Amino acid sequence: MANDAPDEAGRGTPPRAVYSRMADVSGQAVQAGAVWGGIHFHGGRDGSRLPVPRQLPGDIPDFVNRSDEVHRLDELLSHRGAGTFVIVGTAGVGKTALAAHWAHRIKKRFPDGQLYANLRGFDPRSPATAEQVLGRFLKALGTAPEVVPVDPDERAGLYRSLLAEGRFLVVLDNASSAAQVRPLLAGAAECAVVVTSRNRLSGLVTRDGAHRVSLRTLSPAQSVALLRKVTTGQRAQDPAAELALLARLCARLPLALKIAAERAVTRPHTPLSELIQELQDESGRWEVLAMDDEQDTIGSVFAWSYKALPQEAARLFRVLGVLPGTDFSAQAAAAAANLPVTTARRLLDVLTGAHLLEQTGAERFEQHELLRAYAAELAQRQDTAADRAQILHRLLLWYLRSAHAAASLIGAQFPEPTWPSLAGGPARAFAGHGDAVRWYEEECANLTAAVKTAAAAGFHEIAWQLPLVLRRIHAFHGPVGEWIATAAIGLDVARDHGPDSAVADLSESLGMAHVQCHRTDTGREHHRRALEIRLATGDLFGQGSSYNCLGLVDLRERRFAEARSNFRRALELFRYLGDERGRGSLWGISRTPCSRPAPLRRRNRRRVARRRSTNGRATG
């Protein structure tokens, strides 16, 4: 069987990514030289070979009440054994807490793994796409990154195929619509999916057979019970009537109740009546932050808790409102706030203790979307536009320099940029290739958000430089959709505010990404535009790279004569510049089927092998 052309990034991915697994194979096995076409091999899961994902967030230690809803969910599960369960209710009502608590309660029924994703459906800046979530889930299920399908439908099909092999539990938190959720449904009779949303998701109920459980605010008695659970042992017994009044002021929403209870715990000797009076005063001082009366009340509780923060912690809370992503690391927060990392960690602990922030990992944090909106509102009110711009610029530079450090370990075959913006300043340090890849996977969504934010905020240089740094990573890791999105933004900005070389490089990057998606016509057009610019500016190395990329497109389409012509042009340019810069085109030529004598083809292969032994790799 003839070998197909490798992709431009050198990943070696066939036209449609193939996922194969030979776990628990017994009897005869057939060895094939190459198999194309989206074929899946399924065997039993072998726990000794494949990871068993355990992605559930931690159970809620102070979970109380909701016994009726838990009983209802238990009843639905016992009747069906699996299925889709939708938990709906207003913001701050405790949907995520109930989903996490119930998932831990039933996880033993699903021994093959538990998957979790925050879909960020109501975040106006960066909601998660099904494509992004599927990519993470497939990796968690043991699929090598280089064979995760590019096509969204193939990606969803592979995901359902893998879940069909066992009993899995999937939790999809904070969904905005049925369309966002539907590609992530299991489709297998032995799997369960739990979805939370502020919307009713009627489409999942009517079309997909989901069971809906609606959450209302806590009853007065339940609200008092939650307040007592948090404060018991931390302060003297508070009068039941005052606790009931505090609960009413918090609209009996768990998010507001926990923040108010923590505020009371930090002042154990202050009568609750005085704290209630402070909260009532704040209610008249702050404007509405959200859409309904319940969320207005939450705004008052937030203000009450914020006012009690030390000055440094209050400033950091406002800084977090400027950050473009949905979660962040302690190092990113330190860079944005212009603080030492040790100081930032201490202040993040203060915010976490006040329930204004949630720690999700050793160095990672996130905020409820209402708290994030509140922090952004405070930054608008209390900090100048220049201060907010400096915060954002420091963060974007940190992402640029950190991505450059990671890319130098991941995509070392690309030319190293020498922009002044990369010199000096804080950046993430990496222990090696694996550490850099893990960082990119954690920060992928934030890096895309950083590119969008840089363009929108007028930080033009970062807006085109960051996509060029990221292409050195995107060529080997990450969803192609992110590659195309960031490169397209960078190209638009570079056309108006960047040098010709950046326009050419970003056009080439988009060409590579589109070819990776099998859109070869679009990819070829981008490569031709890059070549036109490089011819006009006399960029000989860039011309060689463009010819090499065009040759790889021709090779993918089996246009062998055109491929040979483009590779030879590239080789002539690289030879003129020096053999060290001609490695990429030699790799392409050696893989081109042609009528050359066998000895010449063997000689080319030996040359490639020698260059690969010195870390030479394709640049197309």
Per-residue pLDDT for 581 more than 70? no
Assigned CATH class of 67-214: alpha beta
The Cβ of residue 113 has, within 10 Å, a number of other Cβ atoms equal to: 26
**Res. 619 pLDDT band, cuts 50 70 90:** very low
Per-residue pLDDT for 42 more than 90? no
For residues 46 and 30, give the distance between their C-alpha atoms in angstroms, rounded to a whole number: 20
Is 368 within 8 Å of 92 (Cβ atoms)?
yes
Per-residue pLDDT for 228 more than 90? yes
Contacts of 602 (CB under 8 A, 6+ apart): none
> Which has more pLDDT, 400 or 79?
400
The Cβ of residue 179 has, within 10 Å, a number of other Cβ atoms equal to: 11
**Res. 155 pLDDT band, cuts 50 70 90:** very high
**What number is the average pLDDT over the span 230-243?**
92
Identify any residues that bridge with 175 across adjacent strands, giving them in sequence order. Answer: 197
Q: What is the pLDDT of residues 62-102, one digit of tens each?
A: 677 788 999 999 999 998 888 999 999 988 889 999 999 99
Structure confidence at residue 16 (pLDDT):
31
**DSSP three-state, residue 262:** helix
Is 276 within 8 Å of 304 (Cβ atoms)?
no
- Bridge pairing between strands 364-366 and 192-197: unpaired
**What number is the average pLDDT over the span 578-605?**
51
Per-residue pLDDT for 144 more than 90? no
**What number is the average pLDDT over the span 215-241?**
92
Per-residue pLDDT for 431 more than 60? yes
Domain 412-612: CATH superfamily, name plus number: Tetratricopeptide repeat domain (1.25.40.10)
Q: What is the pLDDT of residues 120-129, one digit of tens each?
A: 888 766 789 9
**What number is the average pLDDT over the span 438-460?**
95
Is 588 within 8 Å of 563 (Cβ atoms)?
yes
For residues 322 and 318, give the distance between their C-alpha atoms in angstroms, rounded to a whole number: 7
Per-residue pLDDT for 620 more than 90? no
- N- to C-terminal Cα separation, the chain: 25
Structure confidence at residue 479 (pLDDT):
78
Structure confidence at residue 383 (pLDDT):
97
The proportion of the chain whose per-residue pLDDT surpasses 70, expressed as a percent, equals 82
Q: What is the pLDDT of residues 275-288, one digit of tens each?
A: 898 888 765 444 33
Identify any residues that bridge with 115 across adjacent strands, giving them in sequence order. Answer: 170
Structure confidence at residue 297 (pLDDT):
60
**Which DSSP helix (H) or strand (E) runs through 212?**
strand 211-214
Place of tokens 């106006």: 124
Q: What does the block give as tokens for 607?
A: 């040359």
H helical segments located in 7-110: 67-80, 95-106
Per-residue pLDDT for 471 more than 50? yes
Structure confidence at residue 30 (pLDDT):
36
Structure confidence at residue 580 (pLDDT):
59
**What number is the average pLDDT over the span 425-438?**
93
Structure confidence at residue 358 (pLDDT):
86
Per-residue pLDDT for 167 more than 90? yes
For residues 112 and 470, give the distance between their C-alpha atoms in angstroms, rounded to a whole number: 35
For residues 551 and 570, give the distance between their C-alpha atoms in angstroms, rounded to a whole number: 9
Please name which of 187, 76, 120 lies closest in space to residue 446, comparing C-alpha atoms: 120
Name the average pLDDT for the chain. Answer: 84
Per-residue pLDDT for 597 more than 90? no
Structure confidence at residue 206 (pLDDT):
92
b/e burial code for range 438-475 (CB count within 10 A of at least 16 → b): ebbbebbbbbbbbbbbbbebebbbbbbbbbbbbbbbbb
Contacts of 155 (CB under 8 A, 6+ apart): 131, 134, 135, 138, 148, 149
**Res. 477 pLDDT band, cuts 50 70 90:** confident
Structure confidence at residue 253 (pLDDT):
87
Question: Listing from the earlier edge strand, what are the strands of the sheet with 327-329?
Answer: 327-329, 364-366, 358-359
On whether the 311-383 domain is CATH 1.10.10.10, my answer is yes
**Which DSSP helix (H) or strand (E) runs through 169?**
strand 169-175
Is 137 within 8 Å of 117 (Cβ atoms)?
yes
Structure confidence at residue 409 (pLDDT):
93
Per-residue pLDDT for 588 more than 80? no
